[in-house]
Amino acid sequence: MARKKMQGAEIVIEALKEQGVTEIFGYPGGAVLPLYDAIFKQNQIRHILVRQEGGAVHAAEGYARSTGKVGVVLVTSGPGATNAVTGLTDALMDSIPVVCLTGQVPTHLIGNDAFQECDTTGITRPCTKLNYLVKDVSDLANVVHEAFHVARSGRPGPVVIDLPKDVIMAMGTYQEAGTAPAEKYSPRVKGDQSAIAEAVRLLGQAKKPIIYAGGGVINSGPKASKLLQDLVKLSGAPCTLTLMGLGAYPASDKQFVGMLGMHGTYEANLAMHDCDVMICVGARFDDRITGRLDAFSPESKKVHIDIDPSSINKNVPVDVPIVGDVASVLADMIKKWKALKPKQDQAALKKWWGQIDQWRAKKCLAFQQKGDTIKPQHAIRRLFELTQGRETFVTTEVGQHQMWAAQYYNFDKPNHWMTSGGLGTMGYGLPAAMGVQVAHPDALVVDIAGEASTLMNIQEMSTIVQYRLPVKIFILNNEYMGMVRQWQELLHGGRYSESYMESLPDFVKLAESFHAVGLRATKASQLDDVIKEMIEIDRPVIADIAIDKLENCFPMIPSGAAHNEMLLGPNDKAEKQISEQGMVLV
């Protein structure tokens, strides 16, 4: 049968449909007009018009992280592509599957400094898992299919497809997925069985075990979270999660010892420091987690499960590396555990839990809400309590509010917490929430924000209103770049250089100017009502919560310090001076 010829742009849209795409986040321009024309002529794929390309990528990230699907972005050449760079880097650092289509000047003009030309593949090479410049219409369909495969397989990540205008205007034939020669990219999924047996043996013999899990569990899918719970239950070990892993293990469970790392709990960090066997599942021994490397968990045998071999032995040498997909390896470990039925040292485990309970008794996250001034911890706690029993997704910006959200909002399910962990991108949360809401129209989606971060992508309020996305922006307003101010207080003699937010907008009026709803709480007594109203209103809301301006985020392991040199509160800092070496670190 002779295949029908179609235009390149239509081939692209056809391939997206075949890949199951139902939403694209984008912004038009000269180089992509043929694609916009093809979008106009169909109604299977919905295009969400953002207000800045950076917003499109974060929206796609939120969409991807809350659904497990690939997020899709469409931007024009030149400035469209360069505006997408922050989001692509963010997606690379946090391993989020995104396919970003960029327009490009026609092939004969490439290299001519043509209008709105930039070297997109050159610029995005270091911030993508893979990128393509398509020069021939006959490659188009296969490139799109392959891009989705690469974005979602192995350790997920962003993929850019640069599309010269003449290529998307040329006529070609469509090729279905799977018709190209066998996919060349096939990362290892199944773990080495002898390493798995060794890991089970170590865990079974451990006197002071800990299971430390991260975003890799979420990326592996909901099954991986379930299996993680099974393994934690079987072994009786405590479980701690990274910032990216929150939700992979239920926060409400008694074997959960909280988040670890720079602003993690006392019990999680000390258990990491003192354990004798550590099972790292889909996490990467990031510098926010390890603190001072030479003092990191000095006595433990370490097992590391990761789909990306380059994550293993990168920062911390491990005893048992296992390359494979988290779900597959955990399933094998559980099978092995049930077969071997290890005889655990129950007395030792009991002692270990006794020790953990002593650390817990420090109540490192305790706070006091007294008087009128709203404590940020209290605001998050109430938000958590008042949103119980609803399908709630939380995104965040970057700063103190992000850490308070991680500490005081408890997640029991994966894929409900979206935060910029690796890159730490202010301005992530608002567009990410927009992407989450597009994917989950009936859910409650809250961006826990700081006032400074909110202003970084505030233009997306317009998108949120246009598509009737009832996103809630919950601003913990301290009128400071709080996290910057905190570091200046601890490390730079309290010289608050450029961290005060002058001339802030009136966020209530700002919301209203976007035709959204603005609410405000300035006193503790108003907080609950504002939160309840925010939840009830079926429209986008900015809730401006005036919090204690000088509150700091504790516990804290200062840069360059070890886990057992943690600052528990403001009074600790006098005794434990932060080293010169630590100051160099970020």
Ligand X SMILES: Cc1ncc(C[n+]2csc(CCOP(=O)(O)OP(=O)(O)O)c2C)c(N)n1
Which of another protein, Mg ion, ligand X, none interacts with 464 (beta carbon under 5 to 8 A by kind)?
A: none
Is 427 a residue that touches Mg ion (CB under 5 A)? no
We find the least distance from the C-beta atom of residue 521 to ligand X, in angstroms, to be 16
Tokens of 564: 């057992």
Burial code (b: 16+ CB inside 10 Å, e: under 16) for 536-558 equals eeeebbbbbbbbbeebbbbbbbb
| Residue 53 is among the residues annotated as catalytic for this protein | yes
CA distance 409 to 260: 15
- State how far the alpha carbon of 359 is from the alpha carbons of 14, 265, 267, 270, 363, in Å: 57, 9, 5, 8, 8
Whole-angstrom distance between the N-terminal and C-terminal Cα of the chain?
62
Residues 318-357 that bind another protein (CB under 8 A): 318-319
486 binds Mg ion (CB under 5 A): no
Where is 74: in which H helix or E strand? strand 71-75
- Report the distance separating Cα 259 and Cα 36, nearest Å: 44
Q: Which does 312 bind (CB under 5 to 8 A by kind): another protein, Mg ion, ligand X, none?
A: another protein
| 131 contributes a contact to another protein by CB under 8 A | yes
Q: Supply the minimum distance, in Å, between the C-beta of residue 65 and another protein.
A: 21
Where does this chain touch another protein (CB under 8 A) — which range of 93-101, 200-208, 302-310, 355-363?
A: 302-310
Which residues, numbered 177-206, are part of the site for another protein (CB under 8 A)?
A: 184-185, 187
CA neighbours closer than 13 Å in the CB half-sphere of residue 496: 13
To the nearest whole angstrom, how small is the minimum distance from the Cβ of residue 318 to another protein?
A: 6
150 binds, among ligand X, another protein, Mg ion, none (CB under 5 to 8 A by kind): another protein
Q: Is 83 in the site for Mg ion (CB under 5 A)?
A: no
Provide, rounded to whole angstroms, the least separation between the CB of residue 380 and another protein.
Answer: 37
Can residue 450 be called a binding residue for Mg ion (CB under 5 A)?
Answer: yes
User: Smaller CB distance to another protein: residue 309 or 582?
Assistant: 309
Please check whether residue 327 is in contact with residue 531, taking contact to mean a CB–CB distance below 8 angstroms: no
152 near another protein, judged by CB under 8 A: no
Smallest gap from Cβ 97 to another protein, in A, equals 14
Q: Which does 313 bind (CB under 5 to 8 A by kind): another protein, ligand X, Mg ion, none?
A: another protein
With CB under 5 to 8 Å by kind, the binding choice for 129 among ligand X, another protein, Mg ion, none is another protein
Write down the catalytic residue from 456, 483, 556, 566: 483
Please state, as a whole number, how many other Cβ atoms lie within 10 Å of the Cβ of residue 577.
9
Comparing CB distances to Mg ion, the nearer of 427 and 450 is: 450
191 counts as binding Mg ion under rule CB under 5 A = no
Q: Which is nearer to another protein, 304 or 381 (CB)?
A: 304
Question: Of 177 and 316, which has the nearer Cβ to another protein?
Answer: 316
Of 382, 409, 362, 372, nearest in space to 569 by CA: 362
Nearest to 260 by CA among 432, 119, 48, 406: 406
Beta carbon of residue 126, minimum distance to another protein (angstroms, whole number): 5
Active site residue 413: no
Instruction: Return the number of the residue (434 or 456) whose C-beta is nearest ligand X.
Output: 456
| Helix H or strand E segment including 543 | strand 541-546
Q: Does 145 bind another protein (CB under 8 A)?
A: no
Q: In the block, which residue shows the tokens 């404590």?
A: 375
Question: Which residue from 130, 234, 348, 444 is in contact with another protein, where contact means CB under 8 A?
Answer: 130
Whether 25 is catalytic is no
Whether 483 is catalytic? yes
∠ CA 113-115-118, rounded to 5°: 55
d(CA 235, CA 256): 13
Give yes or no for residue 279 binding another protein (CB under 8 A).
no
Catalytic residue among 116, 355, 459, 466: 116
The H-or-E segment that residue 573 falls in is none
Judged by CB, which is closer to Mg ion: 478, or 488? 478
Pairing of strands 98-104, 277-281: unpaired
- By CB under 5 A, which span of 79-87, 254-262, 446-454, 569-577 interacts with Mg ion? 446-454
Q: Which residues have CB under 8 Å from 341's CB, separation 6+?
A: none
Kind plus residue range of the DSSP H or E element containing 69:
none
Q: CA-based angle 435:441:444, to the nearest 5?
A: 85
Quick one: tokens of 488?
A: 């200046």
Which candidate in 53, 117, 397, 551 is catalytic? 53
Q: Which residues bind ligand X (CB under 6 A)?
A: 397-401, 424-427, 450-453, 476, 478, 480-484
4 binds, among ligand X, Mg ion, another protein, none (CB under 5 to 8 A by kind): none
Q: Please report the DSSP string for 417-475 in residue order.
A: EE---SS--TT-HHHHHHHHHHH-TTSEEEEEEEHHHHTTSTTHHHHHHHTT---EEEE
Catalytic residue (one of 5, 42, 115, 183): 115
Assign residue 335 a region: left if phi > 0, alpha if psi is -120 to 50, beta otherwise? alpha
Site residues for Mg ion per CB under 5 A: 450-451, 478, 482
Site residues for another protein per CB under 8 A: 121-122, 125-126, 129-131, 133, 150, 154-155, 184-185, 187, 301-302, 308-310, 312-314, 316-319
Active site residues: 53, 115-116, 165, 483
